[in-house]
Chains A and B, each alone.
Chain A
Amino acid sequence: MAGVGSACLTIGLFTALYAVGASLYGARGGGRRWVDSGRRAVYCLAALCVGAFAILESAFLRSDFSYALVAEGSSTTTPTFYKVTAVWATQDGSLLLWVTLLALFSGAVLFLTRRSLRDLAPYAAAVLGTVAAFFLLLVVVWENPFSTLAVAPQEGAGLNPLLRHPAMMIHPPMLYTGYVGFSIPFAFAIGALVTRRTGADWIRATRRFALVAWTFLGTGILLGALWSYSELGWGGYWAWDPVENASLMPWLVGTAFLHSIMVQEKRGMLKVWNVSLICATFVLALLGTFLVRSGILDSIHAFGASTIGVQFLIFIGAVIALSAGLVISRLGDLRSKARLESLLSREAFFLLNNLVLVALALVILWGTFFPLISEAITGTEQTVGPPWFNRLVTPLAIVLVLLAGIGPVLAWRRVTVAALRRVLLVPLALTAMVLVALLALSDATKNVASLVMFCFVAFVLAVVAQEFWRGAGARRSMTGEAWPRALARLTARNRRRYGGYLAHVGIAVLFGAVAASSAFLEQRDVRLSPGQSVSVGGYDIDYVRATADLGGDRGGTGAPIAFGAVMRVTHGDETFTLRPSRNYYSTADPSRGAISRFFEGEATSEVDVRWGLRRDFWLAVRPDLVSLEKPIARADREFADSPGDVQAVVINTITELYRQEPPPAAFRVIVSPLVAWIWIGGAIVLLGALVAAWPSPEARLRRVRSLYKARLGRELTRA
């Protein structure tokens, strides 16, 4: 089957190249049939990629260790869920997933535009085909996921224990869908530039793809943060690691793009800006894919030794050069139809929001690549840490939230001061009340930046609530509907607008939660023996007893041994029990003894969190196995050649030893306020994006009518 998979990819490569050739030839005078043929080649490519992916997936499910990839990344003891997802935990497998998603997206967009955008679509197909061909080339020549081993090992190495977390396994496909999704508007932008059809048609055709890509990318980033918070034993959700930054940059620029295309649709302005933004987004998405694989930056995140860094750099360079050249050569066609009339207008604030978002992305880009930049300038490699990022990003984020509140209430073209007063009066009054309440009732003054952030969040919520209130009120007075129905109908009729408002609410909530949880976090690292207790942030924590678990596998991650603790926590009159633990995986390292092998493999924290809307109580344990070293060493000598069941008894005895006489263990306790609202805010954004992206019946009706009209027109001219 590996041969079939390989063949799928090779044929896929040629299919992609054919799609490029046929589309270009068709568009350059070869005729409609070539264009159709090129498009069908893309469908074919999608089928081939899905086929190859399915073959690889089934090899993982069958634990067929004759595949090098399966032997590396899976094992018979890996739980089924993680077998499925182990495919994209490897370099080769994740590239295959990338190109499969790209082919599916390309097929979908070309199918949807098969009857419209006739000039543009062939060029878009050619661009998409080129990108697919590049990735297939990587997969076929350098990183073939179907390479086989001459002798299949009995057992595979297993999936990296740290990746055995549900969020971690959905996170990569989400990110990839985001990255890949942005290639669709990019391809159509290139098509628009080539054909000089620089109106808003390409935007209308791909707007929804951009929105879907943005949503997936954002969800992927948040899932990564959630994984970091609840799986890695350090308790944070963001560390400004190069690879985290790499996923955030295209998201920020993509956010700017989603806003500024509205200005082009409504006012015919910002054309150069829009094509530049989408090119930048795509390049940053490629950069994100590349950074994880190159090892050029010191990230703890990167894939192992890589062979495809240079190819990626060449491709990214080519994309930048070609798109920049194309934009410059089309400057004349990209001239705006209208001018900015007033700085107090929606388009001016969109522009401002764009500048802030791009500035954010530039700051992060600079910080991420600072080791390379500083080495080029001064000769020594220097790095900037999280404090630097926080210092620069915080003010920009605050301005961004403020703009998210003002933007929606401004009218296009220009706003009068009187109108502004009318829409801002209530929100500003509410914000002032929140400020007074915060000053009087909380210790928010400790941190000015977060105090400002809370006020602006309140402002955004008030503005959006007022918008919903007024819209629904207007509907009610016209139709006499009840409030809930009026709200629902209002949203359903103006999905982009009210979906966007919801997204603003979600982002504001998310930013507020980030501010609260980073400024008011209480954290302590302590060593405790059973019976001892400690107090952190008003919580009294008792170490009740140690636990040792053999084969229990509470987390479903396939770990054979877990040591942990039972902790009783008291907060006011609330008492609860947490059971943090640490999983120990066995290693196949032959230099280790037969028994110590079971204790000296990877170990991962199984954090226990008491989730709450007001605050999270987060607890991790790191047991000290020093007292077990001697018994383990003795067992290594005495039971090295014993049968498996005897060794199992020995291991059981050793783990019991830990339970009965536990040495002091290290604990990390974090009391983090409002952190749950990060995930809730994210969910609200997701909801808003879904509302905005969902096709509305009116739009469908319009499309049907226009098709009907076109047909009628054709028949009339023929008659």
Chain B
Amino acid sequence: MDPSRKRRLRLVVALGIAVLLASALVYTSFSASSEAAKPSEIEEGRSYKLTGKVVADSVARDGDELRFRVRDRDGTQSVPVTYAGVVPDPFREGREVILAGTLQRGTFVAERDSLVTKCPSKFTKEPENS
């Protein structure tokens, strides 16, 4: 094979692999992702990443389980949540939270350890992970 054909072949192979990998990336991300939603948007039986604010005076502890309500960031519609697992340090009523889970019979059942809490804006730098 002459060098220029060989080079072109190499290029085609490399591009082919790149396209293959890229489509794998796109495919896995869409199949593994979960939808982010507000309390007013979620439907029965589907799994979501729920984002919203913890309703004031709604937090109660029931053994290992934490029960509270989450409402839309800028609205009043809310959904009851049950959660077990580690509670991040900044978790408070009125703060923004993100939870993974499914809506089952009107209650959002969150996955273990999925609770993520955003800090209030009065603190300028906010912690990661929690």
Contacts and interface: CB of A to CB of B under 8 A. Distances in A.
A300 B121 contact: no
Nearest to A73: B124
Interface in A219-250: 224, 228, 232-234, 236, 239, 241, 243-244
B124 A385 contact: no
Interface string B32-47: 1111110000000000
A359 B21 contact: yes
B22 to A, nearest CB: 8
Interface stretch (A363-371, A610-618, A631-639): A363-371
B10 to A, nearest CB: 9
B28 A391 contact: yes
A359 B24 CA distance: 12
Interface string A64-75: 000000001100
A300 B130 contact: yes
A89 B125 contact: yes
A163 interface: yes
Given A363-B25, A605-B89, A90 B125 contact: yes
B86 interface: yes
A301 interface: yes
Nearest to B89: A604
Report, as a range, how many residues of chain A touch the other chain: 35 or more
A300 B63 CA distance: 27
A233 B37 CA distance: 27
Given A72-B124, A157-B122, A244-B128, A384 B89 contact: no
Contact of B36 (A381, A388, A666): A381
A387 B126 CA distance: 24
Contacts of B30: 374, 382
B25 to A, nearest CB: 6
A382 B124 contact: no
Among B32, B61, B100, B128, max chain A CB count under 10 A is at B128
Contacts of B16: none
Contacts of B86: 233-234, 525, 622, 668
A240 B99 CA distance: 16
B80 interface: no
B124 A298 contact: no
Interface in B97-130: 98, 100, 113, 116-130
Given A163-B125, A525-B86, A234 B61 contact: no
A234 B88 contact: yes
Contacts of B122: 72, 157, 304
Contacts of B64: 525, 527, 666
Interface in A396-434: none
A299 interface: yes
Among B28, B30, B35, B86, max chain A CB count under 10 A is at B86
A718 B84 CA distance: 84
B127 to A, nearest CB: 4
Interface string A300-331: 11111100000000000000000000000000
Contact of B33 (A241, A384, A626): A384
A698 interface: no
Nearest to A367: B29
Given A371-B36, A602-B90, A304 B128 contact: no
A232 B100 CA distance: 20
Interface string A589-604: 0000000000000111
Contacts of A668: 86
Contact of B125 (A160, A298, A626): A160
Interface string A360-396: 0011001100110010000011111101100110000
A392 B89 contact: no
A91 interface: yes
B121 A241 contact: no
A381 B35 contact: yes
Among A385, A387, A391, max chain B CB count under 10 A is at A385
Nearest to A373: B29
Contacts of A241: 128-129
A169 to B, nearest CB: 11
A94 B124 CA distance: 11
12 contacts: A160-B119, A160-B124, A160-B127, A236-B129, A302-B126, A363-B25, A381-B37, A382-B30, A384-B29, A525-B86, A527-B63, A603-B89
Interface of A: 72-73, 89-91, 94, 157, 160, 162-163, 224, 228, 232-234, 236, 239, 241, 243-244, 298-305, 359, 362-363, 366-367, 370-371, 374, 380-385, 387-388, 391-392, 525, 527, 602-605, 622, 624, 626, 666, 668
